[in-house]
């Protein structure tokens, strides 16, 4: 119980600290350095908030657009990553053949890849989903594969002693054991999928939270929405991360893990 309270307290402190630092930096720029562009370079946090509230409808709508496509891509990418990890673990040949491609695929900067995909599919939503999936599958498949590979040798021998089928080996041992690894991959991937989807927004200036940013930067006009949009985009990443953690908690109720401090608490 004590630990939970401590965690909440530190979260509140963190938020308050963040707010104060922002306000202080904005004050330095505006009140101390008297920068004439201060309101554009770094507006006060409270100004950003009131701007956000003013444009809440549009910000929410555009965020949802970006986030939903990111979520679709995330789910597809997670599924692809899962299957890839399974295939690589099952067949050494697949691992040897696929791994160089996987690594190479992550060397292509998304900056270049996103326009290529957009040019190919010519559809903004499809591009968002594809790029988000592309960002997701890699961390998921590598994390899960490293889970599969770190299954204890004696745990495997036990399965062998039962003359276990491959299916039962994964179902009873490798998968439940690798759940924490899978979630580590998902935690890395979720904010990446959000960022990727928002990046695709910037390719066209039609819609999505990313398009607000790019229009505000280069298009003039709705400059006021730049900071609220940046704030919203960051929040999307954080929210996606938190959602994965919540999902992990739910799964842990069915597949519990040994607490790391169990040994210490028993003593």
Gap between the Cα atoms of 187 and 244, Å rounded: 6
Angle at 234 between CA 76 and CA 62, to 5 degrees: 70
- The smaller minimum CB distance to other proteins, of residues 107 and 267, is found at 267
With CB under 8 A as the contact rule, the residue among 50, 155, 206, 222 that binds other proteins is 155
With CB under 8 A as the contact rule, the residue among 64, 91, 152, 222 that binds other proteins is 152
- The smaller minimum CB distance to other proteins, of residues 138 and 177, is found at 177
- The smaller minimum CB distance to other proteins, of residues 245 and 255, is found at 255
- The smaller minimum CB distance to other proteins, of residues 18 and 162, is found at 162
CB 233 within 8 A of CB 209: yes
CB 208 within 8 A of CB 131: no
Instruction: Find how far residue 45's CA is from the centre of its chain.
Output: 25
Structure tokens at 264: 């210490």
- The smaller minimum CB distance to other proteins, of residues 158 and 246, is found at 158
Q: Which of residues 203-262 bind other proteins (CB under 8 A)?
A: 255-259, 262
CB 73 within 8 A of CB 136: yes
Q: Which residues contact 161 (CB under 8 A, 6 or more apart)?
A: none
- The smaller minimum CB distance to other proteins, of residues 8 and 166, is found at 166
With contacts defined by CB under 8 A, how many residues of the chain interact with other proteins? Answer: 22
| Radius of gyration of the chain, Cα coordinates, nearest whole angstrom | 23
Closest contact distance (angstroms) between CB of 143 and other proteins is 18
Residue matched to tokens 């999928």: 193
Closest contact distance (angstroms) between CB of 172 and other proteins is 7
Closest contact distance (angstroms) between CB of 166 and other proteins is 13
Per-residue mark of binding to other proteins, 160-189 (x: CB under 8 A): xxxxx---x---xx--xx-x----------
Q: Is 174 helix (H, G, I), strand (E, B) or coil?
A: helix
Q: How many CB atoms lie within 10 A of CB 267?
A: 5
- The binding site for other proteins (CB under 8 A) comprises 152, 154-155, 157-158, 160-164, 168, 172-173, 176-177, 179, 255-259, 262
């Amino acid at each position: 119980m004590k630990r939970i309270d401590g965690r909440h307290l530190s979260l509140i402190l963190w938020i308050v600290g963040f707010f104060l630092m922002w306000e202080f930096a904005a004050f330095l720029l505006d009140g101390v350095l008297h920068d004439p562009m201060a309101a554009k370079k770094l507006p006060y946090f409270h100004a950003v908030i009131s701007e956000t509230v003013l444009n809440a409808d549009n910000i929410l709508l555009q965020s949802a657009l970006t986030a939903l496509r990111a979520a679709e891509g995330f789910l597809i990418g997670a599924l692809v990553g899962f299957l890839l990890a399974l295939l690589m673990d099952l067949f050494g040949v697949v691992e040897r053949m696929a791994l160089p491609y996987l690594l190479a695929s992550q060397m292509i900067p998304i900056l270049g890849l996103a326009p290529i995909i957009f040019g190919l599919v010519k559809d903004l939503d499809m591009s968002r989903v594809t790029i988000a999936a592309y960002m997701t599958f890699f961390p998921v498949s590598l994390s899960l594969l490293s889970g599969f590979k770190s299954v204890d040798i004696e745990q495997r021998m036990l399965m062998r002693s039962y003359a276990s089928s491959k299916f039962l080996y994964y179902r009873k041992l490798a998968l439940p054991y690798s759940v924490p690894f899978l979630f580590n991959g998902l935690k890395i991937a979720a904010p990446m999928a959000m960022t990727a989807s928002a990046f695709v927004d910037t390719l066209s200036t039609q819609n999505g939270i990313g398009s607000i940013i790019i229009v505000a930067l280069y298009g003039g006009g709705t400059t006021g929405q730049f900071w609220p949009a940046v704030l919203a985009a960051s929040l999307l990443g954080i929210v996606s991360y938190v959602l994965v953690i919540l999902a992990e908690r739910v799964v842990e109720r069915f597949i519990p893990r040994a607490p790391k401090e169990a040994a210490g608490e028993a003593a």
